[in-house]
Amino acid sequence: MHILTPGKGRTGDYDFTLNPYRGCSFGCSYCYAAFFVADEERRQGWGKWVEVKVRAAEALRRHDLRGKRIYMSTVTDPYQPIEAETELTRSVLSVLLESQARVVVQTRSPLVTRDIDLFRQFDHLRVNVSITTDCDEVRKQYEPGCASIERRLEAVQTLKAAGVKVGVCVAPMLPLRDPSAFGRRLGEIGPELVTSVWFRESTRPFASSTREGAVSLAQEHGWTREGYDLALAELRRACPRVVPASIGFAPV
């Protein structure tokens, strides 16, 4: 089973990336992961299918992961809604814990708080929570299948209160209603770091790039790179925890 992929490119600082699922049911309009799907029908149906790598934990046990830097995940969310039933990601985390791998978990799901008991046992772990906007009206347009902004902020707060290192990724940044107020709110919650990126752009086949649906929405909203730069500057002034993406997505 293909469960570990050597880090390269944007994930070159990691030994491996790890994706417990194939596909993603969140279906965010901007998601670049669809570009890595070779099958055209599945690419067009991104957000409507998920495959469970049922033997993922078993496959991991065949590797010596002591001290290895692992990024979970790059082309799926490890906390798919179905994770509440399968507990696949939880079983994968248990294996990684046995070897004390150095793990960064990337998710947008409040379900991540379920595994706080495991997170607290790692010597080196950070949970990055994606919170792309401060406005649920915007969220519903770009990522209608995802949890509300407030629930994600509460998840960050819960992780922080439990002593788990946590980052907030405003990535990609969608239109913000009030960047300064958003920055102050993040500062009050106190994640270890906050980072942000603009939409990904690429014309190469099977390369990560923002999908057309999100690009069209951004054009409708007048959301431009210049607007992003201005919003990021406001966010940074209000929240001293904002760091470059190279730090926000770096290994622990």
164, amino acid identity: V
Q: Bridge-partner residues for 144, per DSSP? A: none
* Tens digits of residue pLDDT in 9-39: 999 999 999 999 999 999 898 888 666 666 6
Tell me the C-alpha to C-alpha distance, in Å, between residue 251 and each of 18, 147, 197, 198, 245.
Answer: 13, 26, 17, 21, 12
Phi, psi of 29, rounded to the nearest 5 degrees: -65, -25
- From the list 118, 110, 45, 117, the residue with the least C-alpha distance to 84 is 110
Give the pLDDT confidence score for residue 34 in this predicted structure: 65
Q: What pLDDT, on the 0 to 100 scale, is given for residue 203?
A: 44
3-class state of residue 222 by DSSP = coil
Residues 4-248: name the CATH superfamily: Aldolase class I (3.20.20.70)
pLDDT in tens, 101-143: 999 999 999 999 999 999 999 999 999 999 999 999 999 999 9
* pLDDT on residue 19: 96
Give the tokens for residue 79: 């906390």
Angle, CA of 218, 191 and 137, to the nearest 5°: 30
CA distance 179 to 164: 26
Structure tokens at 115: 């595994």
Q: For the chain, what is the mean pLDDT? A: 91
Confidence of residue 85 (pLDDT cuts 50, 70, 90): very high
| pLDDT at residue number 209 | 45
- The pTM of the full predicted model, rounded to 2 decimals, is 0.92
Angle between helices 225-238 and 179-189 (to 10 degrees): 40
pLDDT at 47 over 70: no
Residue 143, pLDDT score: 94
* Domain layout of the chain by residue ranges: 4-248
